[in-house]
Amino acid sequence: MGRKLIFMTGVGIGYVLGTRAGREKFDQMVAQARKFWESPTVQEAAGVVQAQATRLYDDGKQVVTEQVHRLSSKADGSLEEGSTAEDAEAASRRSQFPANAF
């Protein structure tokens, strides 16, 4: 869909630049685009897309925050009996990042 939109935009620009009527046709195209964008159907669709994007952002932020907290709590408790030096080094690296960095 994005490629079609880019193609149609290019066609429109080429048409405006190639036509003798130039500005008059350009103004007509701008008026049609404005009318399309301001239509209730398009505005409703834009609102739905914006709401979905906001929801996805919030959900993703929550998942990342939970993962960071889970990993930081693992790092705090990972130095148990039987741990190797490599385990201690890995835990040290993980604990350098604060849990609320995101």
Residue-wise pLDDT tens digits, 8-49:
888 887 777 776 667 787 788 889 999 999 999 999 999 999
Instruction: Please state the rounded mean pLDDT for residues 69-82.
Output: 68
- Between CA 92 and CA 102, with CA 97 as vertex, the angle to 5 degrees is 155
Give yes or no for a contact between 78 and 89, defined as CB atoms under 8 angstroms apart: no
List all residues 6 or more positions away from 102 whose beta carbon is below 8 Å from its beta carbon.
Answer: 61, 64, 65, 68
Find, among 65, 63, 66, 74, the residue nearest to 93 by Cα: 74
User: Which structure tokens are listed for 73?
Assistant: 């709590």
Find, among 33, 46, 31, the residue nearest to 5 by Cα: 33
Instruction: Please state the rounded mean pLDDT for residues 77-89.
Output: 56
Give yes or no for a contact between 68 and 101, defined as CB atoms under 8 angstroms apart: yes
pTM above 0.85, yes or no: no
Whole-number Å distance between alpha carbons of 47 and 41: 10
